[in-house]
A and B are shown apart, each in its own frame.
Chain A
Amino acid sequence: MDEKTRTRVGGPEDPRAGLEAVVALRRMLEALEAAQVENAFVAGWSWSRIAEVLGISRQAVHKKHAARIKSRYPGRPPGRKERSG
């Protein structure tokens, strides 16, 4: 890794930049997970199927996302007619 690259990723000489990148990534990841779960739900995926791809339990996905998503899509039953893919 050359000097320039190390500076860019917040290498050992700039711990703050490195740590801040981690915080930013965590924040982004949370929002991205919420968005992609919502996208899958809208595409008709069931909670179980979403959970399986995420590698976590159905309960965990439901607990974290169901209330938010259902309030955004009232009346839509959790994905009965799944699409393939």
Chain B
Amino acid sequence: MIFNRFAREARRSVEAAQQEARMLGHDSLGDEDLLLGILRADEGIAAEALSSLGVTLEDARAESEAMFSGALASIGISLEEIRREAGDAFDLRIPDKRRIPFAPGAKKVLEQAVATSVRLGDKYLGTEHILLAILENDDGTAVRILARLGVAPEMLNDQLFAARSG
């Protein structure tokens, strides 16, 4: 099982990712949820590096939501109008009973995180390995959320390695 190697902080960040996905109404857990999970759990080197670059959970969530309403706006649909029309019953949250599977991209990120941890000769898998793997996924939503927050993958990479050696 892939999670055996995971340090407690990394496990917690994945659990937090599940909560974020549920709250935001993502019916599968994507790489952006893994990023939000790291921010939400707020433990480990990755959370530190993100925070040192000014990335907050609230901002990252807001960008994820902005991308969602932007995608709807691109086909002429106003999320706000729908919310108004449908009233209080309109709730994007995924109901508690429904399982939220990992999206293929997120699965790949977690596998990549294991590979990165092994390559770096670490005996554990921490949040920094997950974040490094997220950054390698150029096509992922997480990298684009970070870009919208003014953070390039290289900046975070440097920050992570600095924190590891420091």
Contact = CB atoms under 8 A, between A and B. Distances in A.
Interface of A: 8-10, 17, 20-21, 23-28, 30-32, 34-36, 38-39, 42, 67-68
B72 interface: yes
Interface in B49-98: 67-69, 71-72, 74-77, 79, 82, 86-87, 89-92, 95, 97
B75 A27 contact: no
A25 B91 contact: no
29 contacts: A9-B75, A9-B76, A10-B74, A17-B71, A17-B74, A20-B67, A20-B71, A21-B71, A21-B72, A24-B68, A24-B71, A25-B71, A26-B27, A27-B25, A27-B92, A28-B77, A28-B79, A28-B82, A28-B92, A31-B25, A31-B91, A32-B82, A34-B89, A34-B90, A34-B91, A35-B90, A35-B91, A38-B89, A39-B87
B5 to A, nearest CB: 31
Interface residues of B, number: 22
Contact of A21 (B26, B75, B82, B86): B75
Contacts of A67: 97
A24 B24 CA distance: 12
Contacts, number: 61
Interface of B: 25-27, 67-69, 71-72, 74-77, 79, 82, 86-87, 89-92, 95, 97
